[in-house]
Every structure is written in structure tokens, then in C-alpha cells.
Structure 1
Amino acid sequence: MSESTDVKQSDAKQSDAKQSDARRLSVFKTYKLYVGGKFPRSESGRVYEVQDSKGTWLANAPLSSRKDARDAVVAARKAFGPWSGATAYNRGQILYRIAEMLEGRRDQFVRDVADAEGLSKSRAAAVVDAAVDRWVWYAGWTDKIAQIAGGGNPVAGPYFNLSTPEPTGVVAVVAPQDSSFLGLVSVLAPVIATGNTTVVVASEKSPLPALTLGEVLATSDLPGGVVNILTGRAAEIAPSLAAHQDVNAIDLTGAGAGTDLARDLEIAAADNLKRVLRPSSATDWTAPQGTERLTAFLETKTVWHPTGSLGASGSAY
């Protein structure tokens, strides 16, 4: 067969491939909420347009309602007992498995972050790598936080007096608005690493990395309900979470420091004495993390035990 014949056949195949691609319909992704380990549509049936930094349409995201928020709290409360009762070592294994899966879907997160935050592919890749590394870092703290948040207390008497940290309960998190993945990981991972369950209100303008994270969590070993992800308007969803009597704490990071929303949420949270983590005026999510977020949603249990009598039972307060 001549060289000219080979070239003609190759050109014909390329032409057929182009025509085939032209005939294909675009398959757009349908994004849904992540609640109780499942992917429901918003109870209201509403969606809103998500655009990239240039104003180009990317997808329709669910516009969560207050009913969605209540459903998420129910799921988080149901999951709290088993998750807080798991060993710290087991929680660390599960979180590390999630990091493995994040690494496996790195390219997708790079695309999502690049579109969401208007970054170049190389800068978005650096952000995603930092987020995966941070998740691993928090995974390593699950069985170590008790070493710095607890300890033996000196008492006058023949007793051991020990303080140990315990999770607060259901924590509502208003995720950062401008750091759609690294900021999200930075506020989410420490909450569940210490045994809490959470309802996350994702970045309103850039929710797609959070929804993709939900897909990762659903196929990991993380029990359903430990993390619940809502998208939509924080000003609409967060107040019902702040006032919810079965929410034990709230992280106001994404509400913004000094804003009316942050003030209103803090007032609503006071009704049942929620723990409140106030937003900072400026947070550099690329900076190394301390243990502040690990200890922000921990309670302290104190146990007394008589010395020299191994058979006696102690009493907890």
C-alpha cells in the first residue's frame, strides 16, 4: 500500500472521528447535596448557576432550603454516637483513606479549583496538593490530640484526677467563601478528626469542589452522616443551623469578620449556649496549621479514681 493511500485513510479516520464528536450530545453533570451518605436533590427543587472567575457558566448547584438544613442535622446527630465512639486510631485510618482517594482524583480537583478560583493549572495543583497534605496532617492528630488536651491533675487526696477531651457533638460549619478547597479542608478535617459530626455550608460562589469532595466521602470508609454538605446562600441556610437546638457548636469562618451575618448567627447560637468559633479578619490558608481548630470543639471530662484500690470504680463529672 502506497504512502499516499495511508495518508488518505488516516485523514478519513480523523474526519469520521470529528463528525462523531460533533454528533454527540454534551453530558452535563448533575450536582446534588450530600446528606446522610446519600445524594438528595434540594427539598425545594431549586438550583442556581455557578460561574467561573470569567463569568462562564460551569454548572447548576442545588439551592438548599431550611428543610435541607434540618435533614442534615438529623443525619449528623444519628451518626454522632458511632463516630464519637470509634477509636481515635480507627478515625485516623478512615481520614487517611480519604486522603488517598483525594490524591486519586487530584486532576478533577485541580480543574474544579482552577475554575472556581480563577487560578492557573499549576497554582491550582499547588492548592490541591496542600489540601491533601493538610488532610493527612489532621488524620495523624486523631490519636494524639488527647496528649495535649488532657492529662493528670494534681489533687490533695488519695485520688487520681484525669482530664480527657471528648467531642462536642454536631458542629455547623460555614466554610470559607474564597478558598473553596484548601480552606474547606482546613475547617472540616479538624472537626471530624476529633469525633464530631458536621453540617457544612459550602462556598456560595464556588461550591463545586465541596460537592466533589462529597463524592469522595461517599465512596470512602467514612460513615454516612458524619459529614453533610449543603450548597446555596449562607444567609438563608446558616441562621436555621445557628438556632437549631440539636446543633452544639458553629464555626463562623465563612460568615466574615465584623459582618451583620456573623453577628446575627452568634446571637442565634446563644439560645442554647453553642460553642462559637468566631471568624478571623484575615486567614492565610496556606500557612501551617496549629491545634486551635482541633481543640475548638472539644469538651473536657474529668474522672476521679481512688489510688491503691484497683477494684474500685471511679466517678466522672
Structure 2
Amino acid sequence: MSDATDVSGNTGRGAAARLSVLKTYKLFVGGKFPRSESGRVYEVADSKGNWLANAPLSSRKDARDAVVAARKAFPGWSGATAYNRGQILYRVAEMLEGRREQFTAEVAAAEGLSKAKAAARVDAAVDRWVWYAGWSDKVAQIAGAANPVAGPYFNLSTPGPTGVVAVLAPDTSSFLGLVSVIAPVIVTGNTAVVVASEKAPLPALSLGEVLATSDLPGGVVNILSGRTAEIAAPLAAHQDVNAIDLAGADAALAKELETAAAENLKRVLRPPAGTDWAADPGTERLLAFLETKTVWHPMGI
């Protein structure tokens, strides 16, 4: 005779222990979730050294594939209206808010914070994403100009995106820092290849799941996890990467990457050591990866 089951789902002999459903984290490239090309993974631990998950260990081939995806997405994303980009980023913020508990747990484990402090960091990250979304159709007002010239012409300078930007996410702030380096890059029309924090990649990989189910076109943001130095080197040397943000590089690695970037004339942003990611972001990162286009137009025509 089978055991009876009550309305809570427990059998008469007591509830059987459930097997843990472990999450398989994957890369986010071109709007899809591939495993690392090499099939390698590495162990991710919490702040106390306890195992959390296995994260994909990206290879140079994964980095090259991410650049191809970012380059393919660039014309459509940069050609979208600023208003539309802002709407899409705001939609991402809505979805981040809906997964607040998940990100709170991941940040708490990664940074050794209490649940309340981790929740505050997540709230700040969502607020920052909304803040950057609001800049999408306003940045031209502070980065553009109508220039006085000696002649019957309108001379107008307008900002435009640099192109494909490689972003090394900071190790010291697994989610707020991550948002602080991704949002200003893409809101202005660039596409990004993001190298997640080597020590705490899980919030970044979970962000990929949010982006995949938002209105963000595939390839606009591509997220890799693994050894920062191993992935960053081919990105700094890649001819189809236009700029690199060294937020997640230590002094020795930053110097090496700056040298590699100089050989192909990349724009490089190297933030100061000890950056406080909770501080007011200002507009520095918003303007860091913009190019200025100047147009002359005859008056009266």
C-alpha cells in the first residue's frame, strides 16, 4: 500500500530529502549561452572559501567570438535612437528589480556581506542602471556644441560611440561595480565584451540571463568569465576592439594591457586604484568612449 500524502506534499513516512538542483553557469555571447570553447571550468568560492559553483573558464577563442558578436551588433545598436536605447536600458532595470533576491544572495556570498547590506548594494546597482538609462537622450547636450565660426555656416559637433569596448569588471564590487562599467558603455551606442570579476563572476553571469530576456539585441553585451589576464590579453591586442576599460586590472596587468593597446591605437580608460564604486558616478564614464563628429552646413539652405 502506498504512503498517504497530505496537502503539503509530505508522505506519511515524512518528506524525503530533495536533491539539490545545482545551477550550470554559462557564458553570454551573441545573445546565446555557450559553454567555454575548451569545456574548462573553475571553482568559485564565497568570501569564506566555501564552494559556490563552477564557472566557465573562457579561452582566447571565446574572447575572439565575443568580439565578432559585438562588432556584428554595433551598426544596429549605434544606429538606434537614443530614446530607444534608454527605453531598453530601463526595461533591463525593471527585470533586475524582479530578480532582486537572487542578486542579493549572490552579492552576499561573493562579498561576505549581510543580507541587508547586500540588498542595499543591489538596490544601488539598479538605481544606477536607471540613472544611466536616463542619460541616453541627454548626453548630446553636454558632449555636443554649436561652434562659432568665421563664415556663413552652422558648425555642429555631436558625440558618437567609439565602437566595440572591452570592459574588465572590478573585483572589489561584484554587482554595483559591474553595472557602473557596463551601463555607461552601452547607453551611448557602444557594444561591449565584458570580462567578469575573476573572484566573483556569478552576478555577471546572472546579469547575462537578464539581458537575454530583455529587449537588448544579442551581441550588444557579451560576458566572459575566467582568468582576467588570460582573456584580457587577446582583447587588448585585437584589431577590432576600439577601446578598453581597465577597471578590473591590477597595476602590473594594466601596464601590460596599455602597451598592447597602444600598438593598435586603442582608447584606454584606467581608473585610479581604490575606486569607490558606491560614490556618485558623475559623467566621466559616460563620456569616456565617445567620439566627436563635426558637421559644417551652409546657413539659409
State the 1:14 CA deviation: 5.6
Amino acid in structure 2 at the alignment position of 1:288: D
* 1:234 corresponds to 2:252: no
Which runs of structure 2 are paired with 1:74-153 in the superposition (5 Å)?
Answer: 74-153=68-147
- Determine the structure 2 residue equivalent to 1:166: 160
Aligned residue for 1:43, secondary structure, equals: coil
Quote the Cα distance in structure 2 between the aligned partners of 1:289 and 1:252. Answer: 16
- Determine the structure 2 residue equivalent to 1:292: 284
* 1:204 corresponds to 2:198: yes
State the 1:17 CA deviation: 8.0
1:12-31 deviation line (CA, Å, top 9, x unaligned): 986758532x1x32211000
Q: Which has the higher helix share?
A: 1
- Determine the structure 2 residue equivalent to 1:73: 67
Deviation larger for 280-289 or 121-130: 280-289
* 1:43 corresponds to 2:44: no
State the 1:285 CA deviation: 0.9
* Contact 1:166–1:298 (CA under 8 A) maintained in structure 2: yes
Residues 155 and 17 of structure 1, relative CA distance in 2, 3 Å threshold: farther
In structure 2, stretches of 5+ residues that fail to align are none
State the 1:260 CA deviation: 1.3
- Which of residues 213, 224, 230 in structure 2 aligns to 1:219? 213
> How many residues are treated as equivalent by the alignment?
296
Amino acid in structure 1 at the alignment position of 2:213: T
Quote the Cα distance in structure 2 between the aligned partners of 1:58 and 1:16. Answer: 34
Aligned residue for 2:263, secondary structure, equals: helix
Bigger Rg, which one: 1
State the 1:223 CA deviation: 0.2
Quote the Cα distance in structure 2 between the aligned partners of 1:179 and 1:232. Answer: 17
- Determine the structure 2 residue equivalent to 1:19: 15
Amino acid in structure 1 at the alignment position of 2:26: K
* Contact 1:43–1:64 (CA under 8 A) maintained in structure 2: yes
1:57-107 deviation line (CA, Å, top 9, x unaligned): 110000000000000000000000000000000000000000000000000
TM-score (norm 1): 0.91
Quote the Cα distance in structure 2 between the aligned partners of 1:16 and 1:275. Answer: 67
* 1:282 corresponds to 2:274: yes
Amino acid in structure 1 at the alignment position of 2:45: Q
Quote the Cα distance in structure 2 between the aligned partners of 1:18 and 1:217. Answer: 41
* Contact 1:150–1:162 (CA under 8 A) maintained in structure 2: yes
- Determine the structure 2 residue equivalent to 1:312: none
Quote the Cα distance in structure 2 between the aligned partners of 1:37 and 1:112. Answer: 22
Quote the Cα distance in structure 1 between the aligned partners of 2:9 and 2:35. Answer: 42
Aligned residue for 1:19, secondary structure, equals: coil
- Determine the structure 2 residue equivalent to 1:157: 151
Quote the Cα distance in structure 2 between the aligned partners of 1:203 and 1:260. Answer: 17
- Determine the structure 2 residue equivalent to 1:302: 294
Aligned residue for 1:282, secondary structure, equals: coil
Quote the Cα distance in structure 2 between the aligned partners of 1:68 and 1:118. Answer: 30
Quote the Cα distance in structure 2 between the aligned partners of 1:46 and 1:126. Answer: 34
Identity over aligned pairs, percent:
80
TM-score (norm 2): 0.96
Quote the Cα distance in structure 1 between the aligned partners of 2:61 and 2:263. Answer: 20
* Contact 1:254–1:279 (CA under 8 A) maintained in structure 2: no
In structure 1, stretches of 5+ residues that fail to align are 1-8, 310-317
- Determine the structure 2 residue equivalent to 1:62: 56
Amino acid in structure 1 at the alignment position of 2:195: V
Amino acid in structure 2 at the alignment position of 1:174: L
Aligned residue for 1:163, secondary structure, equals: strand
- Determine the structure 1 residue equivalent to 2:248: 254
1:109-132 deviation line (CA, Å, top 9, x unaligned): 000100111100000000000000
